[in-house]
C-alpha cells in the first residue's frame, strides 16, 4: 500500500487484513498501528478530497467539488459505502472509479473499469497464498488465495446474480464458504479466511433488514459492482463447469498423461496379438477430442451468457451501466419514487466478462494465480462475435447501445470492435448523459474502424454536451454523415470547433443539426466561415439558436460561397421581416437550396405574405424555393402545415410556452380568417381539420402548464 501511504500519515500502518495486526511485534503496536481504516466520514472526505484533487492536477474545479460534496453526503447517510471505506483500499477504489468516470483525459493512458478492479485485486491479494497445514513446506502445497476467493466468494456472487439477489444470509455464507471443512487445519484456515477475506468483501446490510426465514442478519458486497466482477471472474475462469465438463476433463487429463506409455505398450503387443483387439483401445484416444469439443461448447456458452445478459429485454430502459456505477458511489439525489419498483440489474456483469479477456487484465490475474489461456480467449471471442453482430443489427434503446459501446471498449479488441460496428448504421445516444469517459469511449470505439467507415447518423441530442466534451468527441465526428447535436449546452466557442471540422478536406457531414443551442450571432459568424471550404454539407439546422437579423444578413452574404446546401432551417429565432426577405432572396439565387424554415420568428402578416411571394421563381421557368413561415399562405392553407405543426408539437413542452402559445393563437386566427374567405364546403372542412390540430396543441400546452410537466425554459 505504498501508493496509499502517499496520502496518509507515514506513522500509520494501513492494512486490509485484520489478522495481520496479530503478527506485528507488540513494541510497534502503540507507535505505528493507530488505525486500520477510516471510521470517520470527515477523515474519509479529507482522503477523497486529496485524491480527487491530486488526480485533477491539484485544481479544485467545479466538477471535483461537486463530486466530493455528493460523496460526503452519501457517506453521512451511513451508507454501505461508508462501511466499505473503513478500509483505505476501498477509498482508493472509489476515487479511481470516479476519476475514470469524470476526469478521463485523451492524453492519458487508456484505463478501463475492469482494469481498475483487477488492479485492486492485485494490490490486496498479490503474492498471498493459502496452505493446507498453515506451514508452507513446498510449492505444490501452496494455492493462490485469489483463486480460492474466486471458488468461494465468486461462487456466492455468481449464485446471487443467477437468482437476482444481492444479499445473503449467514447460512448461505456457510454453505458457499467452507461448508465442507472437517480437519482442525482447515477450520483454522477458514477462520483466517473469514477474518481477512470474507469480511473484506461482505458487510452487514445497513438497513437492519433481517432474513424472514432465519431471522438473522443479511450480508451484501461492500461495493455492489464487486459482486458482478467476482461472478464474471468465476465464469471466465471456467469454475462453473457442468458435471460432464468436469468428468471429461479428468478423464482426458488422465489419458493424456498415460497416452505415450499406452501407445508404446500397444505397439509391442500388436506383434503377437490380433490387431482387431486394439480397436477397443483406440477408442481411448477419442477422449481428448471429446474433451476439446465439450470445452469448445463451454466457451460458446460463456459467449452466449455474455450476450444474453447484455441484451436482456427487462433491462432495456434502465440507465446506462456507467451511470449505475456512479449512483452506487454517490447515491441518488433528488426526489425519490414513492413506490419501490426498481429491480437490481446486473448489466456490469457481462461487461466485466469481456474486460477480463483483455491481455493486460489476464497478465495481472496470472500473477494472482488465475490463468486465462489465449486459446480460451480466442474461442470465446469467436463465439461472441456472432452474438454481438446479430444483436447490434437490431434497434437498441440509447442506454443499451451505450452499454454495448462500453463492452467493446472494455474488451480492447480493435478487430472485434470494427466487425461489430460494421453492422451498425446508426448510433442513437439521445438523452444519454454524456461524461468525459463516455465521450472517450465513443471516440475510441469508432477509431477502431477504417477511415472509410461512416454512420448514417450519430445522434447526440439532449446529451448534456459542453464545449469541453466536444473536444473529446472530435474523432467520432469524422465517422458520420448526419450529426445531431440539438438540445445540448453548446455555445459560440463550440462553433469554432465545428468550423474546423467542416473545413477539413475529408469531411463527410451532410446534415448538421444544432437546434436548441445558444450559439448567438458570434457563434454563427464562426460557423459560416466554413461554408467557403466545405463541399459536403447539404442540410443545416439552426432552429432556436439565438439568431437575430445580423446572423440572417451574414447567412445571405455567405450562402453564395457554398453550392451544396439544399435545406436551411432558422425557425424559432429573432429574425425580422427585412432580414428574412434578404435571406430568401439569397436562397432563390442559390443553385441548390429548395427549402427554408422561418416559422416562429418575429414576422408580421405582411412579411409572411411577402416571403411566400418571394419564394416563387423569378422567371416563368425558374426554380421555386419553399418557404415555411406559417400554416397559411394568404387565404389558403400551406401545403407544409403538417411538418410545421409537427416540429412545434414535438418541442412545445421544452420551448418558451408563452411564445409557443402566442404563435399557435396567431395560426388559429389566420386559419379562421382564411376559412371565411372560401365558399367551398371541402375547403372549409380542410381549414377546420387544421384548426382542430392547433386547438389540441393549445389544450396540451395548457394541461402541461397546470401540472408543471416539461421545462418550458428555452
Tell me which range, 141-155, 245-259, 606-620, is most confidently predicted by mean pLDDT: 141-155
pLDDT at 63: 72
In the predicted structure, residue 197 carries a pLDDT above the cut 70: yes
Which pLDDT value is given to residue 358? 95
Mean pLDDT of 16-43: 45
Question: What whole-number distance in Å separates Cα of residue 404 and Cα of residue 420?
Answer: 10
Cα–Cα distance measured from residue 489 to residue 512, given in angstroms and rounded to the nearest whole number: 16
Asked if 486 and 517 count as a contact pair (C-beta separation under 8 A), the reply is yes
348-359 per-position pLDDT tens digit = 999 999 999 999
Q: Which of 270-284, 323-337, 353-367 is the most confident on average?
A: 353-367
- Ranges of H-type helices in 311-358: 321-330, 348-355
pLDDT above 90 (res 714): no
pTM across the whole model: 0.82
Q: For residue range 672-701, what is the model confidence (pLDDT) as tens digits?
A: 888 888 888 888 899 999 999 999 989 888
pLDDT exceeds cutoff 80 at 313 = no
Instruction: Report pLDDT for 246.
Output: 47
**Which phi and psi angles does 540 have, rounded to 5°?**
-120, 120
* Cα–Cα distance, 460 to 457 (Å, whole number): 9
Half-sphere exposure of 121 (CA within 13 A, CB side): 28
User: In this predicted model, which residue has the larger pLDDT, 112 or 143?
Assistant: 112
Q: Quick one: residue 178, left, alpha or beta (phi over 0 = left, psi -120 to 50 = alpha)?
A: left
CA distance 90 to 312: 30
pLDDT in tens, 648-661: 888 887 888 888 88
Beta strand residue intervals within 56-110, DSSP E: none
Look up residue 225 and give its three cell numbers: 459492482
Q: How far apart are CA 262 and CA 556, in angstroms?
A: 90
- Integer distance in angstroms from the first to the last C-alpha of the chain? 51
DSSP structure string for 376-409: HHHHHHHHHHHHHHHHHTS---HHHHHHHHHHHH
d(CA 351, CA 342): 21
Closest CA to 298 of 381, 242, 366, 375: 242
- What is the percent of the chain with per-residue pLDDT over 70, rounded to a whole number? 72
What is the per-residue pLDDT for 276?
53
The 3-class SS string of 177-227 reads CCCCCCCHHHHHHHHHHHHHHHHHHEEECCCCCECCCCCCEEEEECCHHHH
The stretch 62-67 carries a mean pLDDT of: 74
pLDDT value, residue 260: 52
User: What's the pLDDT tens digit per position in 445-481?
Assistant: 999 999 889 999 999 999 999 988 999 999 999 999 9
Query: Cβ neighbours of residue 296 under 8 Å, at least 6 residues apart?
Result: 379
pLDDT digits 0-9 by tens, 79-121: 677 777 777 788 888 888 988 988 888 787 789 999 999 999 9
> What is residue 173's predicted lDDT score, i.e. its pLDDT?
81
Residue 290, SS3?
helix
Q: How confident is the model at residue 318 (pLDDT cuts 50, 70, 90)?
A: confident
Give the number of other Cβ atoms within 10 Å of residue 152's Cβ: 22
> Tell me, what's the pLDDT at 274?
56
- In this prediction, residue 563 carries a pLDDT of 86
Quick one: pLDDT at residue 659? 86
Please say whether the dihedral angle defined by the alpha carbons of residues 160, 163, 167 and 169, taken in this order, is positive or negative. negative
| Angle between helix 321-330 and 62-76 (nearest 10) | 60
What integer pLDDT is reported at residue 410 of this predicted model? 96
The sign one gets for the Cα dihedral 202, 205, 206, 210 is negative
Q: Does the pLDDT at position 484 exceed 70?
A: yes
Single out the residue of 114, 115, 164 nearest to residue 348, CA to CA: 114
For residue 145, how many C-alpha atoms fall within 13 Å in the half-sphere facing its CB? 20
Say how many residues make up the chain.
714
| Residue with grid cell 443539426, as numbered in its chain | 513
In whole angstroms, give the CA distance from residue 454 to residue 534. 18
Specify the pLDDT at position 315. Answer: 64
* 407 has pLDDT over 90: yes
How many CB atoms lie under 10 A from the CB of residue 443?
19
Cell 458486497: give the residue: 221
Alpha helices in 474-519 (DSSP H): 492-503
CA distances to 23, 152, 153, 186, 209 from 20, in Å: 5, 22, 21, 19, 32
Across 42-51, 372-381, 580-589, least confident range? 42-51
- Residues 544/571, Cβ–Cβ less than 8 Å: yes
CA gap 245, 295 in Å, rounded: 7
Please name every residue paired with 513 in a beta bridge, in sequence order, or none if there are none. 484, 541
Contacts of 497 (CB under 8 A, 6+ apart): 467, 470, 471, 474
292 contacts: CB under 8 Å, gap ≥ 6: none
DSSP state at residue 361: H
Whole-number Å distance between alpha carbons of 302 and 287: 22
| pLDDT on residue 31 | 38
**What confidence tier does 40 reach under pLDDT thresholds 50, 70, 90?**
low
Q: What is the pLDDT of residues 174-186, one digit of tens each?
A: 777 765 555 666 6
Domain residue ranges of the chain, discontinuous segments joined by +: 41-112, 638-703
Give the pLDDT score at 707. Answer: 67
Amino acid at each position: 500500500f505504498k501508493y496509499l501511504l502517499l496520502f496518509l500519515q507515514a506513522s500509520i500502518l494501513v492494512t486490509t487484513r485484520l489478522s495481520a495486526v496479530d503478527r506485528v511485534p507488540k513494541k510497534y503496536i502503540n507507535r505505528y498501528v493507530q488505525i486500520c481504516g477510516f471510521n470517520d466520514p470527515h477523515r474519509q472526505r479529507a482522503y477523497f478530497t486529496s485524491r480527487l484533487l491530486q488526480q485533477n492536477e491539484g485544481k479544485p474545479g467545479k466538477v471535483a467539488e461537486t463530486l466530493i460534496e455528493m460523496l460526503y453526503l452519501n457517506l453521512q447517510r451511513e451508507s454501505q459505502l461508508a462501511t466499505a471505506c473503513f478500509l483505505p483500499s476501498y477509498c482508493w477504489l472509489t476515487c479511481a472509479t470516479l476519476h475514470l468516470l469524470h476526469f478521463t483525459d485523451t492524453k492519458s493512458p487508456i484505463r478501463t473499469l475492469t482494469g481498475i478492479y483487477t488492479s485492486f485485486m492485485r494490490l490486496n491479494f498479490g503474492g498471498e497464498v493459502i496452505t493446507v497445514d498453515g506451514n508452507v513446506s513446498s510449492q505444490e502445497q501452496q494455492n493462490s488465495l485469489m483463486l480460492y476467493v474466486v471458488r468461494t466468494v465468486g461462487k456466492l456472487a455468481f449464485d446471487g446474480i443467477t437468482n437476482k439477489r444481492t444479499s445473503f444470509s449467514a447460512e448461505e455464507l456457510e454453505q458457499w464458504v467452507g461448508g465442507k471443512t472437517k480437519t482442525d487445519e482447515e477450520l483454522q484456515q477458514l477462520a483466517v479466511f473469514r477474518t481477512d477475506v470474507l469480511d473484506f468483501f461482505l458487510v452487514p446490510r445497513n438497513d437492519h433488514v433481517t432474513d424472514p426465514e432465519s431471522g438473522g442478519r443479511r450480508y451484501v458486497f461492500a461495493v455492489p459492482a464487486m459482486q458482478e466482477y467476482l461472478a464474471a471472474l468465476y465464469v471466465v475462469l471456467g469454475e462453473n463447469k457442468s458435471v460432464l465438463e468436469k468428468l471429461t476433463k479428468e478423464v482426458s487429463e488422465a489419458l493424456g498423461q498415460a497416452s505415450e506409455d499406452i501407445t508404446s505398450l500397444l505397439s509391442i503387443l500388436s506383434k503377437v496379438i490380433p490387431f482387431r483387439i486394439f480397436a477397443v483401445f483406440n477408442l481411448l484416444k477419442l477422449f481428448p477430442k471429446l474433451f476439446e469439443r465439450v470445452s469448445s461448447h463451454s466457451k460458446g456458452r460463456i459467449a452466449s451468457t455474455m450476450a444474453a445478459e447484455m441484451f436482456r429485454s427487462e433491462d432495456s430502459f434502465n440507465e446506462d451501466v456507467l451511470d449505475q456505477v456512479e449512483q452506487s458511489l454517490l447515491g441518488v439525489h433528488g426526489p425519490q419514487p414513492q413506490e419501490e419498483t426498481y429491480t437490481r440489474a446486473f448489466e456490469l456483469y457481462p461487461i466485466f466478462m469481456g474486460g477480463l479477456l483483455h491481455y493486460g487484465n489476464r497478465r495481472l490475474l496470472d500473477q494472482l494465480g488465475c490463468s486465462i489461456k489465449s486459446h480460451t480467449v480466442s474461442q470465446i471471442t469467436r463465439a461472441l462475435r456472432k452474438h454481438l453482430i446479430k444483436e447490434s443489427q437490431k434497434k437498441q434503446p440509447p442506454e443499451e447501445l451505450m452499454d454495448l459501446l462500453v463492452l467493446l471498449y472494455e474488451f480492447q479488441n480493435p478487430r472485434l470492435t470494427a466487425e461489430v460496428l460494421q453492422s451498425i448504421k446508426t448510433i442513437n445516444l439521445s438523452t444519454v448523459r454524456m461524461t468525459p469517459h463516455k465521450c472517450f469511449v465513443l471516440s475510441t470505439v469508432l477509431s477502431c474502424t477504417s477511415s472509410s467507415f461512416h454512420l448514417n447518423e450519430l445522434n447526440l441530442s439532449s446529451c448534456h454536451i459542453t464545449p469541453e466534451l466536444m473536444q473529446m468527441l472530435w474523432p467520432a465526428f469524422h465517422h458520420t454523415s448526419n450529426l445531431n447535436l440539438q438540445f445540448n449546452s453548446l455555445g459560440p466557442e463550440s462553433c469554432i470547433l465545428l468550423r474546423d471540422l467542416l473545413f477539413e478536406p475529408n469531411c463527410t457531414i451532410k446534415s448538421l443539426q444544432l437546434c436548441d443551442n445558444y450559439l448567438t450571432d458570434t457563434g454563427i459568424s464562426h460557423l459560416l466561415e466554413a461554408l467557403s471550404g466545405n463541399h459536403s454539407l447539404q442540410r443545416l439546422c439552426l432552429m432556436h439558436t439565438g439568431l437575430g437579423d445580423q446572423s440572417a444578413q451574414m447567412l445571405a452574404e455567405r450562402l453564395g460561397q457554398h453550392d451544396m446546401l439544399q435545406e436551411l432551417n432558422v425557425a424559432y429565432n429573432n429574425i425580422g421581416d427585412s432580414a428574412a426577405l434578404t435571406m430568401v432572396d439569397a436562397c432563390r439565387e442559390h443553385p441548390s437550396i429548395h427549402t427554408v424554415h422561418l416559422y416562429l420568428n418575429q414576422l408580421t402578416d405582411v412579411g409572411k405574405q411577402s416571403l411566400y411571394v418571394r419564394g416563387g421563381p423569378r422567371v416563368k421557368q425558374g426554380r421555386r424555393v419553399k418557404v415555411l413561415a406559417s400554416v397559411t399562405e394568404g387565404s389558403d392553407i400551406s401545403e407544409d402545415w403538417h411538418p410545421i405543426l409537427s416540429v412545434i408539437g414535438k418541442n412545445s413542452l421544452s420551448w418558451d410556452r408563452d411564445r409557443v402559445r402566442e404563435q399557435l393563437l396567431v395560426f388559429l386566427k389566420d386559419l379562421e380568417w382564411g376559412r371565411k374567405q372560401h365558399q367551398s364546403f371541402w375547403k372549409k372542412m380542410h381549414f377546420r381539420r387544421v384548426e382542430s390540430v392547433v386547438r389540441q396543441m393549445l389544450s396540451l400546452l395548457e394541461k402541461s402548464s397546470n401540472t408543471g410537466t416539461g421545462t418550458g425554459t428555452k
